Amino acid sequence: MKVNQSSVTAENNALLRTHEAMRPESERICHDPLAFYFIPDHIFSSVDRNNQIKMAITDWENYFPGVCNSILARTRFIDDCLEEAINDGIQQLVILGAGYDTRAFRVMALKESVGVFELDHPITQKRKLSKIQRHMDQHASNIQYIPIDFSKEDLPDKLFACGYSDQLKTLFIWEGVTYYLPASAVDRTLDFINRLSPPRSSIIFDYFPPAVADGTTPLAEAQALRDGLKRIGEEILFGIEPDQIIAFMKARGFTVIRNLTSTEYRRAYFRGTNKSRNVSDMFIFVQAMVS
């Protein structure tokens, strides 16, 4: 992310979820009606807002075929896993690199017994809080907003200072983040979760194959996305081979529960009227438990 600039990808992802919420209920892959408040300001204030949203998504689908639908499937997968985790008795939710995540507001069960911690870069989080204060019920969630520069500040120190407990069963959401980090930062985060959360705590994240990071991928949409992200200062740095994820996570103290490739989430989420919607093979989703 460029210095002194909130995350462009976080705004774009909010725009994508807003577009999906505009669809008929029977056609939605996921549903986030609150994402609307976090779309780019020039579109939010436009008198032609809905048309601009539709045009932006059409352009993205032309430039990066399948990417939009994979991002929507990622949101749906995490929402489904979160619901399971709540039913399984999690007591804390930690959202790493939260961007414009709205789950603390739109998942009602979180308000009853789950402490929520959102960590993100101070500039992006400042924009998010200004939108919440202007448009949403600030008291609708038991949430701690924790500004952090992950490249310079210590994650455990920040969390513990805000009331995080290493004795409570916790779900960590790491959505759309790993590929922007160096391998050492990925390892530090996984080490913290493994050491400082109790057994049966879990993590959900998505990742790319290494060929996306090094530019050798044969996927045209991956090349286009890689180049586009680099231009806005959000460069792809990290990847994991899908057939190595079980060993990768085991070496770091986790048991993989699910590893969804595009074939699997296409089968799970793109049925009926959505059967013809394209997805990208570059996105893979994983859920893993602290062993």
Would you tell me how many other CB atoms lie within 10 Å of the CB of residue 94?
24
SS3 state at 109: coil
pLDDT the model gives residue 264:
97
Tell me the C-alpha distance between 84 and 65, whole Å.
Answer: 31
DSSP string, 166-234: TTS-EEEEETT-GGGS-HHHHHHHHHHHHHSS-TT-EEEEEE--HHHHHT----HHHHHHHHHHHHTT-
Instruction: Please name the helix (run of DSSP H) or strand (run of DSSP E) that holds residue 4, with its range, or none.
Output: none
111 falls in which pLDDT band (50, 70, 90)? confident
Instruction: Kindly tell me if the per-residue pLDDT of 197 is higher than 60.
Output: yes
If you average pLDDT over residues 191-220, what whole number do you get? 96
pLDDT of residue 141: 60
Which pLDDT value is given to residue 140? 57
User: Which among 75, 117, 51, 72 is positioned nearest to 274, based on CA atoms?
Assistant: 72
Q: Rounded to a whole number, what is the distance in angstroms from the first to the last CA of the chain?
A: 33
Fill in the DSSP letter of residue 36.
G
Tell me how many degrees the CA angle 35-286-71 measures, rounded to the nearest 5. Answer: 30
Residue with the bigger pLDDT between 4 and 29: it is 29
Please tell me the pTM assigned to this model: 0.95
pLDDT of 236 above 60: yes
Instruction: Give the helix/strand (H/E) hosting 102.
Output: none
Residue 153: left (phi > 0), alpha (psi -120 to 50), or beta? Answer: beta
Q: pLDDT tens digits for 76-107?
A: 999 999 999 999 999 999 999 999 999 999 99
Give the span between the Cα atoms of 173 and 110, in whole angstroms: 14
* Cβ neighbours of residue 264 closer than 8 Å, sequence gap 6 or more: none
Domain residue ranges of the chain, discontinuous segments joined by +: 65-290
Question: Is it the case that residue 1 has pLDDT exceeding 70?
Answer: no
Fold of 65-290: Rossmann fold (3.40.50)
- Write the pLDDT tens digit of every residue in 143-175: 999 999 887 888 999 999 999 999 999 999 999
pLDDT above 90: residue 138: no
Residue 55, pLDDT score: 97
Q: Supply the DSSP string of 268-290, one letter for each residue.
A: HH--GGGTT----TT-EEEEEEE
* DSSP strand pairing (202-207 vs 284-290): antiparallel
Instruction: Give me the pLDDT at residue 149, please.
Output: 87
User: How far is residue 215's CA from residue 211's CA, in Å, rounded to a whole number?
Assistant: 6
